[in-house]
């Protein structure tokens, strides 16, 4: 077990290195640079800026500088938000994104698993069709439609929640973004859970459990559920990595200071360090959550071995 | 005579399908008395399993049961689940065919064994554990304390079936229903499990309902036999009478379904067509980055095969004995050591590409008539696919002509050749697989358990077909099977394998009539015990 954890952490290092390298050069293939857009920028000032940030150096040397700083934990300054370092931006934005994302995913998992089980137990009956319809709607309506509808209904008309803003993290400000992020996830999780639960209920060992007169509670929640959770675990890992690193649409519509919006802003502005920073953060989350998934998988299913 | 413990009256089972209502059981009446063994026999689809599933309330969602199934005067059919659950697992229990999947893979043996004990006997965990240990000892599981903490995948098939029996009997039921409990097991294990069940039945005095298609088992254990066909009982009575004087024509057909006859040995001068000397196949298990050297498994350990023209060599042995692996090595389908000669030429060093022209003469028919035919091709396409590779020059019309000939030869109506595999029965599919092999005019055909998935009557027909083809085309067969009755009828030479090694070989009379090795003796005793 310990050796397995160690080996997984070791293999994460080359993975990260490859991701950083590819993104670094890929980003530089795109034309333009961080100081190109501002019209009439004095060429002397532009040259000075580029010298300060080593942008006048050959690309391979810039790459080595970046790697060197990254190893020291230094993500560098943001080119477009000159008062902040990339690390500052993440320190303030990441907790916001993690809060919203984890609440949304957590709720989606709890409600989705419950709905999925419920639908599976009433397969091809009214309740089942209702859940399937909800799931289909949830996964087809995009967040940029759900979010404004929420604002119209609950903020403007009913005035239960503010239209947007963070409000220093007051819970009323979080409801909209969490629900908007949650709905599509809820749809996916409930549909996935319904399918795997139906399959689990058909397993031979469920027939055994029934033949032994075990209660329906035990048959469903002890024997069928555990195996049926495996696909959910597989899905939840990558989903967590995506949700916890923020959503550009939700953060923009609700005006929340997360890190999701940096993905787009930084790329459009050629804010090289910030782009690289988001790539590194997302990569770390992805590697970490995939690792957690594998550990959970082995914990749920004794047939999975650490090798 | 005491009143029966379980009394079925006019039990009917219907399934609602897309094609309408299907009646699986049509009005069955049947009694089970204390301490009695009732065997329900019939081919697949006769409704014998569904009848008992209905009694246990285990029908699939689209199934519906009616009639009466009185357990000590209480009708189980239509009983609410909560009430039924006080009887199931404590008074009546059921065990199933699939020992590999009938236990929950995610919980320990102890956990699963203790759960019904705690539920029905209202014991605490410590007391239930004691009872669970007793039960494991009763079914002769070695190291019961350790096994309580094992997971099902850590046990062999036979051990799992023992655990299933322990779970079923833990609450001293009056009736045990066993649905083909030994069908998926090797013959020697099968014999052990049957012995165990018979002994436990005597000890505990329960009624045993044994559902099976294997008449050998029925002959050995049943007091009373119930023969079912198309959802109805065609005949029932004491086992001795049914076997001695069957009344119904269907029962007579069942009883005569054992494959008959022997194969005459080939002439001494017949040329050797496929020869493997001292064949070895090893697999490496595990190994790699940070996990140390791999474990080496010797799947086939120095076995020699000399197959003559027109000969049938039967290879018998239990699962894991290496018989299929040996055949694959001889066909060059997996890497092995030791020279292999086919028709005089050394094929052991030939590449995949160089082997291809020879493949038409070295054909194989596999066990699974469901999995080995592509579901997306018509039967005709499946049968002629090999011609596209080996005789690409012939026209489509000629291919079709050959397909018709091949279909006729294996006893299938050629008009069926545009149908898809799922539209055929198991026996018909096996005929398609055989047609696919012989259309290429092979010299050697490897038959890997070709009859194991089939009912006895169908088995007999396939055996006869294979014999006819052998006579007409002077084919040589390597016949792999764990079914010794079929092997005896098909082969003129038998090789017995165990753990990758050859245990014994000789003519069927030598090996089966007068086995020399202990292992062969046990195998024969288990297969042919009367």
Which of B102, B128, B161, B211 to mutate against chain A (most A CBs within 10 Å)?
A: B102
Q: How confident is the model at residue B530 (pLDDT cuts 50, 70, 90)?
A: very low
B342 touches chain A (CB under 8 A): no
A7 touches chain B (CB under 8 A): yes
Inter-chain residue contact A213 with B94, CB threshold 8 Å = no
Share of chain B above pLDDT 70, in %: 97
Structure tokens at A57: 């150096």
Query: How long a stretch of residues is chain B?
Result: 530
A223 touches chain B (CB under 8 A): yes
pLDDT of residue B46: 87
CA distances from A143 to A136, A149, A178, A239, B108 (A): 14, 10, 11, 15, 44
Inter-chain residue contact B290 with A7, CB threshold 8 Å = yes
Count of H helices and E strands in chain B? 19, 20
Mean pLDDT confidence for B249-260: 82
Structure tokens at A140: 């087809």
pLDDT of residue A51: 84
Inter-chain residue contact A213 with B164, CB threshold 8 Å = no
Among the partner residues B57, B153, B290, nearest to A303 by beta-carbon distance: B153
Judging contacts by C-beta atoms under 8 Å, the chain B residues touching residue A215 are 85, 119
Specify the pairing of strand B74-75 against strand B63-71: antiparallel
Listed range (A27-41, B312-326, B328-342) with the worst mean pLDDT: A27-41
User: Which of the residues in chain A have pLDDT under 70?
Assistant: 37-40, 306-307
Burial pattern B434-453, b for ≥16 Cβ within 10 A else e, equals: bbbbbbbebbbbbbbbbbeb
Q: What pLDDT digit, counting tens, does each position of B468-504 carry?
A: 999 999 999 999 988 888 898 899 999 999 988 999 9
B80 touches chain A (CB under 8 A): no
Mean pLDDT confidence for B272-293: 79
Mean pLDDT confidence for B21-37: 91
**What ipTM was estimated for this complex?**
0.81
Judging contacts by C-beta atoms under 8 Å, the chain B residues touching residue A209 are 104
Among the partner residues A123, A223, A300, nearest to B104 by beta-carbon distance: A223
Within 10 A of B328 (CB to CB), how many other CB atoms are there? 19
A305 touches chain B (CB under 8 A): no
pLDDT of residue B529: 60
Inter-chain residue contact B104 with A213, CB threshold 8 Å = no
Question: What residue ranges in B61-184 does DSSP mark as E strands?
Answer: 63-71, 74-75, 92-95, 175-179
Class of residue B331 by CB neighbours under 10 A (exposed 0-12, middle 13-18, buried 19+): buried
Give the containing element (helix H, strand E) for B196: helix B187-204
For residue A103, what are the contacts with CB-CB under 8 A and spacing of at least 6?
A174, A178, A182
DSSP one-letter code for B298: E
Q: What pLDDT digit, counting tens, does each position of B437-478 carry?
A: 999 999 999 998 888 777 777 888 889 899 999 999 999 999
Compute the radius of gyration of chain B from its Cα atoms: 26
Which of A124, A197, A212 to mutate against chain B (most B CBs within 10 Å)?
A: A212
Listed range (A165-169, B195-199, B344-348) with the worst mean pLDDT: A165-169
Within 10 A of A24 (CB to CB), how many other CB atoms are there? 19
Evaluated on CA atoms B96, B51, B79, B71, the torsion sign reads: negative
A125 touches chain B (CB under 8 A): no
Which of B85, B174, B184 to mutate against chain A (most A CBs within 10 Å)?
A: B85
By three-state DSSP, how is residue A178 classified? helix
- φ/ψ region of B176 (left if φ > 0, alpha if ψ in -120 to 50, else beta) reads beta
For residue B441, what are the contacts with CB-CB under 8 A and spacing of at least 6?
B360, B361, B473
pLDDT of residue A38: 61
B178 touches chain A (CB under 8 A): no
More confident residue, B164 or B424: B164
Which of A199, A211, A223, A303 to mutate against chain B (most B CBs within 10 Å)?
A: A211
Structure tokens at A196: 């795997």
SS (H, E, C) B316-368: ECCCCCCHHHHHHHHCCCCCCECCEEECCEECCCCCHHHHHHHHCCEEEECCC
Inter-chain residue contact B88 with A227, CB threshold 8 Å = no
Inter-chain residue contact B116 with A216, CB threshold 8 Å = no
> Which residue, A84, A194, A57, is CA-closest to A130?
A194
A4 touches chain B (CB under 8 A): no
Q: How confident is the model at residue B25 (pLDDT cuts 50, 70, 90)?
A: very high
> Which residue, B45, B46, B52, is CA-closest to B30?
B52
Across chain B, what does the average pLDDT equal? 88
**Chain B: residue whose CA lies nearest to A124:** B61
DSSP one-letter code for A168: G
A205 touches chain B (CB under 8 A): yes
pLDDT of residue B286: 65
B160 touches chain A (CB under 8 A): no
Report the alpha-carbon distance of residue A262 to residue A266 in Å, rounded.
5
DSSP one-letter code for B261: -
Judging contacts by C-beta atoms under 8 Å, the chain A residues touching residue B150 are none
A307 touches chain B (CB under 8 A): yes
Inter-chain residue contact A227 with B94, CB threshold 8 Å = no
DSSP one-letter code for B100: T
SS (H, E, C) B369-393: CCCCCCCCCCHHHHHHHHHHHHCCC
For residue B421, what are the contacts with CB-CB under 8 A and spacing of at least 6?
B370, B373, B374, B375, B377, B379, B382, B429, B432
């Amino acid at each position: 077990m310990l050796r397995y954890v160690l080996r997984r952490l070791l293999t994460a290092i080359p993975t990260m290195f490859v991701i950083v390298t590819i993104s670094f050069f890929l980003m530089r293939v795109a034309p333009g640079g961080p100081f190109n857009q501002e019209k009439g920028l004095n060429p002397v000032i532009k040259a000075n800026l580029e010298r300060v940030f080593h942008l006048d150096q050959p690309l391979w040397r810039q790459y080595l500088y970046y790697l060197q700083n990254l190893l020291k934990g230094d993500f560098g300054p943001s080119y477009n938000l000159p008062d902040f370092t990339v690390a500052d931006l993440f320190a303030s934005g990441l907790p916001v994104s993690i809060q919203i994302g984890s609440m949304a995913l957590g709720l989606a998992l709890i409600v989705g698993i419950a709905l999925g089980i419920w639908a599976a137990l009433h397969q091809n009956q009214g309740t089942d069709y209702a859940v399937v319809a909800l799931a289909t709607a949830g996964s087809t309506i995009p967040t940029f439609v759900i979010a404004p509808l929420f604002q119209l209904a609950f903020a403007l008309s009913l005035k239960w929640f503010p239209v947007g803003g963070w409000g220093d993290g007051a819970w009323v400000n979080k409801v909209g973004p969490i629900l908007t992020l949650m709905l599509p996830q809820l749809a996916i999780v409930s549909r996935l859970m319904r399918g795997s639960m139906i399959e689990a209920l058909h397993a031979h060992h469920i027939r055994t459990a029934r033949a032994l007169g075990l209660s329906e509670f035990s048959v469903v929640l002890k024997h069928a559920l555990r195996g049926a959770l495996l696909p959910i675990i597989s899905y939840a890992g990558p989903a967590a990595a995506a949700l916890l690193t923020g959503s550009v649409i939700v953060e923009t519509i609700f005006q929340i200071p997360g890190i999701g919006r940096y993905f787009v802003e930084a790329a459009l502005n050629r804010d090289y360090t910030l782009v690289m920073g988001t790539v590194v953060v997302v990569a770390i989350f992805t590697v970490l959550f995939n690792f957690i998934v594998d550990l959970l998988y082995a914990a749920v299913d004794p047939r999975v071995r650490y090798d | 005579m005491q009143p029966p413990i379980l009394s079925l009256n006019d039990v009917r089972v219907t399934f609602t399908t897309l094609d309408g209502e299907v009646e699986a059981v049509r009005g069955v009446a049947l009694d089970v008395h204390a301490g009695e063994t009732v065997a329900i026999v019939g081919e697949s689809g006769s409704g014998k399993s569904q009848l008992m599933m209905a009694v246990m309330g285990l029908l699939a969602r689209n199934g519906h049961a009616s009639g009466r199934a009185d357990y000590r005067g209480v009708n189980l059919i239509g009983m609410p689940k909560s009430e039924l659950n006080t009887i199931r697992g404590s008074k009546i229990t059921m065990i199933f065919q699939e020992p590999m999947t009938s236990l929950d893979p995610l919980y320990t043996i102890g956990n699963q064994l203790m759960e019904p004990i705690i539920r029905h006997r209202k014991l605490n965990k410590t007391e239930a554990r004691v009872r669970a240990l007793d039960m494991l000892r009763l079914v002769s599981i070695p190291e019961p304390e350790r096994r309580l903490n094992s997971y099902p995948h850590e046990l062999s098939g036979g051990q799992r079936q023992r655990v299933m029996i322990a779970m079923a009997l833990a609450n001293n039921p009056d009736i045990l229903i066993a649905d083909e409990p030994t069908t998926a097991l090797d013959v020697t294990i099968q014999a052990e499990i049957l012995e165990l069940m018979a002994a436990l039945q005597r000890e505990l005095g329960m009624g045993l309902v044994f559902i099976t298609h294997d008449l050998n088992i029925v002959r050995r254990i049943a007091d009373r036999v119930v023969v079912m066909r198309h959802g109805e009982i065609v005949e029932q009575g004491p086992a001795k009478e049914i076997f001695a004087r069957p009344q119904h024509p269907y029962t007579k057909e069942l009883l005569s379904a054992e494959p008959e006859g022997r194969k005459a040995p080939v002439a001494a001068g017949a040329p050797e067509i496929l020869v493997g000397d001292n064949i070895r196949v090893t697999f490496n298990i595990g190994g790699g980055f940070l996990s140390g050297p791999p474990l080496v498994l010797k799947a086939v350990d120095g076995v020699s095969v000399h197959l003559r023209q027109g000969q049938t060599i039967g290879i018998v042995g239990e699962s894991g004995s290496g018989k299929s692996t040996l055949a694959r090595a001889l066909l060059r389908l997996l890497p092995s050591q030791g020279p292999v000669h086919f028709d005089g030429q050394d094929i052991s060093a030939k590449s995949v590409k160089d082997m291809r022209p020879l493949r038409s003469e070295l054909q194989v028919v596999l066990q699974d008539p469901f999995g080995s035919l592509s579901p997306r091709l018509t039967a005709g396409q499946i049968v002629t696919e090999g011609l596209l590779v080996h005789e690409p020059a012939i026209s489509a019309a000629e291919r079709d002509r050959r397909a018709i000939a091949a279909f006729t030869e294996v006893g299938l109506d050629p008009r069926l050749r545009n149908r898809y595999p799922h539209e055929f029965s198991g026996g018909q599919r096996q005929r398609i697989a055989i047609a696919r092999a012989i259309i290429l005019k092979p010299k050697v055909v490897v038959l890997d358990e070709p009859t194991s998935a089939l009912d006895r009557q169908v088995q007999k027909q396939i055996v006869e077909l294979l014999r006819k083809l052998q006579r007409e085309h002077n084919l040589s067969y390597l016949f792999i099977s764990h079914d010794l009755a079929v092997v005896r009828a098909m082969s003129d030479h038998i090789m017995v394998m165990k753990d990758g090694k050859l245990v014994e070989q000789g003519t069927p009379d030598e090996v089966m009539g007068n086995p020399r090795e202990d292992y062969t003796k046990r195998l024969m005793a288990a297969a042919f015990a009367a």
